[in-house]
Structure 1
Amino acid sequence: MNSIHWIYLIAAGFFEIGWPLGLKLASIPSFKIFGPIISIISMGISGVLLWLSLKGISIGTAYAVWTG
């Protein structure tokens, strides 16, 4: 198991926080477009980083860490 997989997983967890924040921003009129863009980008990056981490960490452990 390589430590880079853990770095990917922790980074994925931080990006997982970004999508609900983007949805919250979408409720503010001046962020109507910017909020959903933040959500989509955060979800995509989080998913890719989770996928990369699964190459060296078991799915059960990765899911528990990713969801917090």
Structure 2
Amino acid sequence: MDYEKMAEIHEAEVAKIVELEAKVDQFTEELKKAKEDLKAVGEELTELWKRFNALKADVLKEIEESK
């Protein structure tokens, strides 16, 4: 194999690596965004759960008082 052919192969392999690195970077950013979104959803669910429990306590209190 001559030098030029090896250089072409090397250049093609480097281009593939660069492309893969870009895809990994994009995927990493997408994962970070998904993690942030999941955290926000978790916070919303926690708040809803707190409000549900407060409402449930109020209803149970009213039931108990109406007896």
TM-score (normalised: structure 1) = 0.39
TM-score (normalised: structure 2) = 0.39
Q: Which has the higher helix share?
A: 2
Q: Which has the higher contact order (CA 8 A, sep 6+)?
A: 1
Q: Which has the larger radius of gyration?
A: 2
